[in-house]
Amino acid sequence: MAKPRISSIDGKLAEEFAVPSHVEEVKEKMAAFARNHAAAGRRVVLITSGGTKVPLESRTVRFLDNFSSGRRGASSAEYFVDSGYAVIFLHRHRSLYPYTRMFSNVNMLEALKFSGGDGASNSSGDVVVDQQVLPNIAKALKRYQEMKEGKLLLPIEFSTLSEYLHLLKAAAQALSTIGSKAMFYLAAAVSDFYIPASEMPEHKIQSSNGPLQLSMNMVPKILSPLVKDWAPQAFVISFKLETDATILLEKARRALDTYRHQAVVANVLDSRRGYVVVVTPETQAELIITDEDVKNEVEIEERIVSNLTAAHKKFITQQGG
């Protein structure tokens, strides 16, 4: 039997990024989830969502983080479920979560009241929801219950960059068993820089030592072994965020040339809720949300998911799946 290829990134991951203790258990869970849903004829998407925490000390007091709210990943998860997919949701702890995301800013105690109409004076009665405070709660609850009934969402949490990298590798290996039926939708905003464990101070950095100068290493480009070694038959989508719109498409094309995956969703920080470009080696599709769409509560993730599920279907057919 041919030996599995060990990329140098595998070595780096093992040496420089602490392995989460539950990684094997989570990998088995993901593999079983993918196997069962694929056997039932479903496609499976692994969504990554949210930012990563990069510790500056091993007994971490301080860390670097980024802007990502996790909204892209959370809302996409809902649209994938609506499109018949089973979803592994690899998300940053406390970032936005499918179905509850719309209510994340709501004070629950403002949204609930005692039935019977006279508020607190009838506090032994049943509690009911004030739908003015939680508009769309009935619709969200219905979608959530359907998802739960079908066991269509497997949530997996990470916080640090190390956890993210090891769990993504485990997910890729777990999903490799279902070949082209697997999609990777890598929407998380992952740090490009880190401090290796061997160079990290153990204790809190002391301000009495004066101004802090940091030297950080480049995070290994995990897309490379994911596409080449870990899940070579899967349909892989990466995301590219820039603040300078003039370099965005060129960088998206360069990523496709380098990693040879299927598509890049390109977006600019300030306009990401209303405009993205889905770039493939042959095509470039602009997806736009108009004012009318906003009025009708249409979200750009619905369009992204619709574009990519159609492309995935075609891909599976081309691969003979």
Q: Which residues bind ligand PAZ (CB under 6 A)?
A: 68-72, 187, 189-190, 239-241, 267, 272
Q: How far is the CB of 72 from ligand PAZ (least distance, A)?
A: 3
Q: How far is CA 97 from the centre of its chain?
A: 10
Report the residue number, 75 or 180, with the smaller CB distance to ligand PAZ: 75
Report the residue number, 68 or 180, with the smaller CB distance to ligand PAZ: 68
Report the residue number, 73 or 113, with the smaller CB distance to ligand PAZ: 73
Q: How far is the CB of 187 from ligand PAZ (least distance, A)?
A: 5
Cβ atoms of 238 and 256 within 8 Å: the answer is no
Q: How far is the CB of 44 from ligand PAZ (least distance, A)?
A: 21
Query: How many Cα neighbours within 13 Å face the side chain of 283?
Result: 10
Q: How far is the CB of 307 from ligand PAZ (least distance, A)?
A: 14
* Pairs from 311-318 (Cβ < 8 Å, separation ≥ 24): 311/235, 311/262, 311/263, 311/280, 312/43, 312/183, 312/235, 315/180, 315/235, 315/262, 316/43, 316/180, 316/181, 316/235
Q: How far is the CB of 110 from ligand PAZ (least distance, A)?
A: 25
Report the residue number, 12 or 272, with the smaller CB distance to ligand PAZ: 272
Report the residue number, 19 or 268, with the smaller CB distance to ligand PAZ: 268
Q: What single DSSP character describes residue 177?
A: G
Q: How far is the CB of 188 from ligand PAZ (least distance, A)?
A: 6
Alpha helices by DSSP H, the chain:
8-16, 23-39, 71-82, 108-111, 137-149, 161-175, 223-225, 245-259, 291-295, 300-318
Report the residue number, 42 or 303, with the smaller CB distance to ligand PAZ: 303
Q: Going by DSSP bridges, is the β-strand pair 193-194/217-218 parallel, antiparallel, or unpaired?
A: antiparallel
Cβ atoms of 193 and 218 within 8 Å: the answer is yes
Q: How far is the CB of 317 from ligand PAZ (least distance, A)?
A: 28
- CA–CA separation, 287 vs 301, rounded Å? 9
Q: What single DSSP character describes residue 53?
A: B
Report the residue number, 53 or 71, with the smaller CB distance to ligand PAZ: 71
Report the residue number, 133 or 245, with the smaller CB distance to ligand PAZ: 245
User: Helices (H), strands (E): how many in the chain?
Assistant: 10, 14
Q: 274-301 burial by CB neighbour count: b if 16+ within 10 A, else e?
A: bbbbbbbeeeeeebebeeeeeeeeebbb
Q: How far is the CB of 190 from ligand PAZ (least distance, A)?
A: 6
